[in-house]
């Protein structure tokens, strides 16, 4: 009898997964032939209750496992600008950048060997390098140390421009070597699609010249890699620091940066490496300015989509199995070029057939400590009796 198929069937039994979602086709039938591919966009519940890396996602149809491809929207690549000239003028250090023709740009990143500074930066744009339009008059860069940590802001956002040339003026710098480089780093290309995981209201605590905003996401598991703040103040530019914690006791630093709101735009988003922590603490350094009012923040992640082939009604998505390993399907190698049909997930519900894994059995000695001690004491007593008999059997020693 061949036991391999039976073993594989048992290994894929959906009872090992905690959650089950019915995969639903569009309510209205599409006026086109059935698509060979279908796609499912994972929602916050699926993302929060799956393993890190989403290794436990499975699609079953009548206990048969269906292959899928997990896709994540990539972040658009950076596009470095070409520096054209650099000079010390009566207005300070100036550098002109060439963004290239037909380019939409909205931020520049600077590099400098200097430390402990704060200086304004003027940003102009032009089509011909003769007529310049002011994009930002209130931009600033800084580097300082506070509470044992170094804070550095060299990224400058500005209203989106299609002008080819960008000119930066830094009044406080009088040496060309003060600026190492300047590159356009965030072109306004097609932004990656994101999934809003949750919104949270903070607890606010003032501490001298800074304010702490602590957010509770109410449960761990959300794979957060970006926070977008919603301050109500009309205009500001502040240094911020973000930490995360699983228990609100031990905190791990995530990122340091700046948030700002200025005429024509704002920068209110902080990005960082993905974390599944429940608590987030934002520290805003106010200086001598009035504290910011931040009533809420949104926590998000890159959108994850499952592409599957040959969808049939009755297919279900399962997740929530800490012991599951990432599946290996060949669908990614033979994925046809087609527009996938969008599918939906039913409301989250526990898997009624879920059976938690059997906990590992403790060693026999841990399960029967009393019996173990009884055996040991009996053995010691037997050895003592044997030794006593052996000593009594020895002949008496003779004396001369």
pLDDT at position 309 = 84
pLDDT at position 376 = 82
Q: Specify the 3-state DSSP secondary structure of 74.
A: coil
The mean per-residue pLDDT over the stretch 164-189 comes to 84
User: How many C-alpha atoms does 231 have within 13 Å on its Cβ side?
Assistant: 22
pLDDT band, very low/low/confident/very high, at 7 (cuts 50, 70, 90): very low
Q: Is the pLDDT of residue 104 over 50?
A: yes
Q: Is the pLDDT of residue 109 over 60?
A: yes
Cβ atoms of residues 194 and 303 within 8 Å: yes
Q: Is the pLDDT of residue 48 over 90?
A: yes
pLDDT at position 232 = 95
Q: Is the pLDDT of residue 296 over 80?
A: yes
Class of the CATH domain delimited by 82-184: mainly beta
Domains of the chain, by residue range, sit at: 15-26+33-73+303-350, 82-184, 194-302
* pLDDT, tens digit, 9 for 90 and up, residues 200-251: 999 999 988 899 999 999 988 999 999 999 999 998 888 899 999 999 999 9
pLDDT band, very low/low/confident/very high, at 392 (cuts 50, 70, 90): confident
Pairwise pLDDT comparison (315 vs 332), residue with the higher score: 315
Percent of the chain with pLDDT over 90: 48
pLDDT at position 360 = 65
Q: Is the pLDDT of residue 258 over 50?
A: yes
Choose among 295, 300, 288, 236: nearest CA to 266: 236
| Chain position carrying tokens 């931020």 | 107
Record the pTM. 0.70
Choose among 294, 308, 296, 106: nearest CA to 196: 296
- φ/ψ (deg, to 5) at 388: -65, -45
Q: Is the pLDDT of residue 11 over 50?
A: no
Dist CA 177 CA 264 (whole Å): 31
Strand partners for 238 = 259
Q: Is the pLDDT of residue 15 over 60?
A: yes
Cβ atoms of residues 295 and 268 within 8 Å: no
Dist CA 63 CA 14 (whole Å): 7
In CATH, the architecture of 194-302 is Sandwich (2.60)
pLDDT band, very low/low/confident/very high, at 63 (cuts 50, 70, 90): confident
Q: Is the pLDDT of residue 117 over 60?
A: yes
pLDDT at position 267 = 85
Q: Is the pLDDT of residue 121 over 60?
A: yes
Pairwise pLDDT comparison (21 vs 192), residue with the higher score: 21
Question: H or E segment at 210?
Answer: strand 210-216
Q: Establish whether domains 82-184 and 194-302 are of one fold.
A: yes
- Please list the alpha-helical segments (H only) found in the chain: 4-11, 44-48, 364-367, 369-393
pLDDT band, very low/low/confident/very high, at 29 (cuts 50, 70, 90): low
pLDDT at position 8 = 42
CA dihedral 298, 299, 301, 304 (to 10 degrees): -80
Average pLDDT, the chain: 85
pLDDT band, very low/low/confident/very high, at 187 (cuts 50, 70, 90): low
Q: Is the pLDDT of residue 163 over 80?
A: yes
Residues 6+ apart with CB under 8 A from 198: 44, 217, 218, 222, 298, 299
pLDDT at position 218 = 92
Dist CA 76 CA 73 (whole Å): 9
Question: Which of 137-146, 232-241, 360-369 has the largest mean confidence?
Answer: 232-241
CA angle in degrees (0–180, nearest 5) for 166-171-175: 90
- Beta strands 279-285 and 236-245: pairing type? antiparallel
């Amino acid at each position: 009898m061949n036991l391999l198929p039976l073993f594989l069937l048992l290994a894929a039994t959906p009872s090992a997964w905690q959650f089950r979602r019915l995969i639903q086709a569009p309510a209205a039938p599409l006026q086109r032939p059935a698509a060979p591919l279908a796609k499912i966009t994972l929602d916050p519940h699926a993302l929060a209750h799956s393993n890190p890396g989403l290794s436990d996602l499975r699609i079953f149809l009548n206990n048969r496992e269906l292959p899928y491809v997990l896709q994540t929207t990539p972040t658009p690549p950076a596009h470095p600008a070409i520096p054209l000239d650099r000079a010390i003028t009566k207005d300070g250090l100036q550098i002109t950048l060439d963004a290239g023709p037909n380019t939409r740009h909205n931020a520049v990143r600077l590099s400098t060997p200097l430390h402990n500074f704060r200086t304004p930066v003027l940003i102009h744009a032009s089509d011909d390098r003769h007529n310049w339009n002011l994009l930002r008059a209130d931009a600033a860069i800084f580097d300082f140390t506070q509470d044992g940590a170094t804070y550095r802001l060299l990224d400058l956002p500005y209203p989106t421009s299609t002008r080819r040339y960008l000119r930066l003026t830094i009044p406080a710098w009088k040496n060309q070597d003060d600026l190492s480089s300047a590159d356009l780093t965030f072109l306004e290309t097609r932004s990656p699609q994101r999934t809003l995981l949750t919104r949270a209201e903070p607890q606010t605590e003032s501490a001298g010249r800074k304010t702490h905003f602590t957010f509770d996401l109410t449960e761990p598991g959300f794979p957060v890699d970006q926070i977008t703040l919603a301050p109500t103040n009309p205009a500001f530019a502040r240094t911020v620091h973000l930490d995360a914690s699983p228990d609100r006791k031990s905190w791990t630093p995530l990122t340091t940066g700046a948030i700002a709101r200025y005429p024509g735009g704002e920068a209110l988003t902080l990005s960082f490496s993905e974390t599944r922590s429940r608590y987030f603490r934002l520290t805003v350094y106010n200086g001598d300015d009035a504290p910011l009012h931040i009533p809420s923040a949104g926590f998000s992640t890159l959108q994850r989509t499952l592409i599957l082939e040959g969808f049939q009604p009755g297919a279900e998505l399962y997740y929530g199995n800490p012991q599951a390993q990432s599946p290996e399907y060949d669908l990614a190698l033979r994925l046809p070029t087609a527009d996938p049909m969008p599918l939906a997930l039913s409301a989250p519900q526990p898997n009624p057939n879920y059976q938690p894994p059997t906990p590992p059995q403790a060693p026999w000695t841990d399960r029967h400590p009393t019996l173990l001690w009884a055996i040991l004491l009996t053995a010691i007593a037997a050895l003592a009796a044997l030794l006593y008999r052996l000593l009594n059997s020895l002949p008496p020693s003779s004396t001369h």
